[in-house]
Amino acid sequence: MDVVTSQTIGVEVNGTMYERDVEARRLLIHLLRDDLDLTGSHVGCDTGNCGACSVILDGTLVKSCMVLAIQVDGSSIETVEGLAGEEQLSPLQQAFSDHHALQCGYCTPGMLMSATALLRENPRPSDEEIARALQGNICRCTGYWNIFEAIKAASG
116 scored as a contact of another protein (CB under 8 A): no
43 scored as a contact of another protein (CB under 8 A): yes
By CB under 8 A, name the one of 75, 76, 103, 122 that touches another protein.
Answer: 103
Q: Crossing angle for the helix pair 91-98 and 108-121, nearest 10 degrees?
A: 130
88 scored as a contact of another protein (CB under 8 A): no
What is the 8-class DSSP label of residue 61? E
Nearest residue (CB) to another protein, 19 versus 47: 47
119 scored as a contact of another protein (CB under 8 A): no
By CB under 8 A, name the one of 11, 13, 54, 125 that touches another protein.
Answer: 54
Q: Provide CB contacts within 8 A for 76, sequence distance 6+.
A: 11, 12, 13, 57, 58, 59
CA distances from 123 to 27, 126, 129, 152, 156 (A): 31, 10, 11, 10, 6
* Backbone dihedral angles phi then psi of residue 68, each to the nearest 5 degrees: -85, 145
The binding track of 23-42 with respect to another protein, each residue x by CB under 8 A or -, is xxxxx--x--xx--xxxxxx
Whole-number minimum distance, CB 146 to another protein, in Å?
A: 7
By CB under 8 A, name the one of 11, 31, 72, 146 that touches another protein.
Answer: 146
